[in-house]
Amino acid sequence: MNTLTLSNKDARRLFLHRHLLSDTPQGDAKGDALLKVIEGLGFVQLDSINTVARAHDLILFSRKPRYRPSGLKRLYEKDSALFEHWTHDAAVIPMGYYSYWEMRRQRDAETLRKRYRNWHQHDFETRFSQLLDQIREQGPVCSADVGKDEKRPNSGWWDWHPSKTALEYLWRTGALHVVGRDGFQKRYDLTENVLEAHLCDPAAVPDEAATIDWCCNGALERLGFATHTELAAFWDHISPAEAKDWVRGELTAGRLQPILVTCANGETRDAYARPDIADDPAVHIEPIQRLRVLSPFDPALRDRKRAERLFGFNYRVEMFVPEAKRTYGYYVFPILQGDSIIARVDMKAFRDRDTLVVRALWPEPGTRWGKGKQSAFEAELARLTKLAGVSQISFDDGWLRAPKSK
């Protein structure tokens, strides 16, 4: 039997549809409708940088323009429909997935103890009992409420005092639960005080085999096609070796097939997909031409190598790159139109001036920035002002730049 080759066009369509970026972004963006979006994505990464909007807010806004941050806050803090934990980074995750994080919590208990000791150079474990008793007696706490006599002079955000480290460890390993944030500071409570009993029942926890199967199935459902390393990286719960074993079993059972995926440069790459991938309705859905500004941490772009293979889009976040060495800017947003990344824009909301300022925009090589693109861009900026909390838009002199060669 010949190996199926997925064209680059079909691969893009399938991938964008799985990431909820094909259809017209419309409809309700609160409650169950918002939860459905997060379930479709699997999780939403949290990030504090707010040059235009925080990453999690822009991720949801790009799919539901009626979205406002209050909708996520209510879903998370009041409705308890989400919990916060770790994937490849901090994220909010549907509460229905909570039990599948138990393997992660158990593995974190083994790895984080050594990591935190080496990183922070203090004995944070001695604070466990004290902190648990404090929360039991006084209720939820933030890191600012504990260890006030432990802070070192001139310490930065990365230099956690022992009680802060203990809070993070107890959260990551399950004794504590994050019940919300004040600003961007986590509030911790005892897990037993927050979760329904069935979620804490050891008898209801999936074993490792069931967790690995859930992780791989969920990753493949959201990616459409993947290598075993991409399956492992999606939730960042399991090892590539565990994903490889899962792939081997699915191939033997006939529930998976090897395919070739055509990259943007015409080369092909090995991957795996379900046997009915060629008949997936998504390959016939042409993404709408509405222009969308994406978060640098959008799920569709999180795997930078995959984004480059599929879209020919080379991207890196340059906030930690010295300014003189940046190719583009501190925090630059990709722009999606149809099935292509057409540009990237450096912009910032100056809320004290009530203005969203476009500093620079670089079309991608081969993209002509004509009147149609400009009109679509301005329409998207007008939508973005509502999320950014400003009402005006301005463009710096020389904002439209020449494309940079790949």
Structure tokens at 191: 């897990």
CA distances, 273 to each of 20, 21, 43, 257, 398 (Å): 19, 20, 22, 6, 46
Per DSSP, the residues of 199-228 read HH-GGGS--HHHHHHHHHHHHHHHHSSB-H
CA distances, 61 to each of 35, 64, 355 (Å): 13, 5, 19
Residues 6+ apart with CB under 8 A from 115: none
Per DSSP, the residues of 91-110 read EEEEGGGGGGGHHHHHHHHH
Give yes or no for a contact between 315 and 307, defined as CB atoms under 8 angstroms apart.
yes
pLDDT at residue 154, as a whole number:
56
Give yes or no for a contact between 246 and 208, defined as CB atoms under 8 angstroms apart.
no
Structure tokens at 134: 């404090």
Give yes or no for a contact between 4 and 278, defined as CB atoms under 8 angstroms apart.
yes
Question: pLDDT (tens digit, 0 to 9) for every residue of the chain, 406 residues total?
Answer: 689 999 999 999 999 999 999 998 889 999 999 999 999 999 999 999 999 999 999 999 999 999 999 999 999 999 999 999 999 999 999 999 999 999 999 999 989 998 988 877 778 999 999 999 999 999 999 998 998 777 665 555 566 889 999 999 999 999 999 999 988 899 999 999 999 888 888 888 999 999 999 999 999 999 999 999 999 999 999 999 999 999 999 999 999 999 999 999 999 999 999 999 999 999 999 999 999 999 999 999 999 999 999 999 999 999 989 999 999 999 999 999 999 999 999 999 999 999 999 999 999 999 999 999 999 999 999 999 999 999 999 999 999 999 987 6
pLDDT at residue 64, as a whole number:
96
CA 106 to chain centre: 23
Describe the strand order of the beta sheet including 355-363 as a list of residue ranges: 292-293, 332-337, 340-350, 355-363, 392-395
What domains are defined for the chain? 291-395 (3.40.630)
Q: Residue 288 — left, alpha, or beta (φ > 0 → left; ψ -120 to 50 → alpha)? A: beta
